[in-house]
């Protein structure tokens, strides 16, 4: 390894080859790409004096298409098809933007029903969420079937039959196990089961998806999806009924836009992953743009909301009546408070100093 590092220092092309061996458009390189390009989009929006969603909404369709990379997906979406989708999205755009500004984009909560919560905590959090106007709830499942049945019954009884319930297995099951387990949980009428198996198993998701159709349960996945190519295959294989983009997993805004357009072509609703820690701040821009300029629909569409760590951001999300209200500050809502950055800076930040001191003791 030392030899390769030494030679790579002398020859930048060797670094390129080494990075390519990690994998094209996936892994740590792709995550780093997302970080850099998301920052560029943030700067672009700030320069224009607009929130990112508004920058995208106002952009000429041809210019927007020029921001996308169609490599590896032209068998599903060509540049001209993307342009046509965006051109048609101009019709009624003003009214949809006004709708977003007045009412926001519907959200669902994941904060009530994590695995490990006691029944008392579940009841307390569900009661509070209902008081706050939430109508869509997600529960984590997959550790123990009987415990899942008990917890899902508790939650369904609390929220009533008319409210929406989703389930998330966080990749716990093999394919046959997923089908079997969900057949037992079908009585609680979940809209979807999220990540029922390995996020890389496209055909496994397709098998699960087909098996759950008679039960009226969809499959949702995407938060761990490497790139637009994997999303393309999930759509081609009919392996999902709900597509979950992530603002940082793909190669920034550019690649997320190509996935939104593919989802529109396949008529699959996009319901983004947004697990707190700034992801909510980011992805709200993408989903608001999707409604105004691409999907033009809220049917079976909602954006995840998790209620922690927003206090570290200068422009935290605004939730009203269980909906994301469109950000009005210029940029991509990514900027963190200087105090938070300073406290968490490695290794001299206050948080790290305490952690390292505890390890020594």
Residues carrying an active site annotation: 140, 273
Q: What angle do CA 238, 67, 272 make, to 5 degrees?
A: 40
| Tokens found for residue 23 | 């994998």
């Amino acid at each position: 390894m030392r030899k390769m590092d030494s030679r790579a220092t002398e020859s930048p092309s060797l670094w390129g080859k080494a990075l390519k061996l990690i994998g094209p458009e996936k892994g740590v390189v792709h995550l780093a790409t997302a970080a850099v390009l998301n920052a560029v989009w943030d700067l672009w929006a700030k320069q224009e004096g607009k929130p990112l969603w508004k920058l995208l909404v106002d952009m000429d369709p041809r210019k927007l298409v020029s921001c996308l990379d169609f490599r590896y997906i032209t068998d599903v979406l060509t540049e001209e098809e993307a342009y046509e989708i965006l051109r048609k999205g101009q019709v009624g755009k003003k009214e949809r933007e006004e709708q977003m500004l007045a009412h926001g984009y519907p959200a669902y909560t994941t904060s009530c029903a994590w695995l490990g919560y006691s029944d008392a905590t579940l009841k307390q959090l569900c009661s509070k969420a209902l008081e706050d106007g939430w109508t869509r709830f997600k529960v984590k499942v997959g550790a123990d079937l009987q415990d899942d049945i008990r917890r899902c019954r508790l939650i369904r009884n609390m929220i009533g039959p008319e409210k929406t319930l989703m389930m998330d297995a966080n990749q716990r099951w093999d394919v046959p196990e997923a089908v079997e387990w969900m057949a037992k949980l079908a009585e609680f009428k979940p809209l979807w089961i999220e990540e029922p198996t390995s996020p890389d198993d496209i055909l496994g998701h397709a098998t699960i998806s087909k098996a759950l159709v008679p039960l009226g349960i969809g499959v949702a996945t995407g938060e761990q999806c490497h790139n637009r190519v994997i999303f393309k295959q999930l759509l081609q294989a009919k392996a999902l009924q709900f597509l979950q983009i992530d603002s940082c997993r793909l190669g920034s805004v550019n690649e997320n836009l190509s996935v939104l357009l593919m989802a529109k072509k396949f008529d699959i609703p996009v319901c983004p992953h947004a697990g707190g820690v700034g992801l909510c701040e980011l992805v709200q821009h993408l989903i608001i743009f999707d409604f105004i300029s691409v999907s033009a629909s809220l049917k079976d569409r909602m954006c995840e909301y998790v209620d922690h760590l927003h206090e570290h951001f200068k422009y935290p999300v605004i939730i009203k009546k269980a909906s994301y209200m469109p950000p009005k500050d210029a940029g991509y809502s990514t900027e963190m408070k200087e105090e938070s950055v300073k406290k968490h800076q490695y290794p001299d930040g206050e948080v790290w100093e305490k952690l390292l001191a505890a390890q020594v003791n």
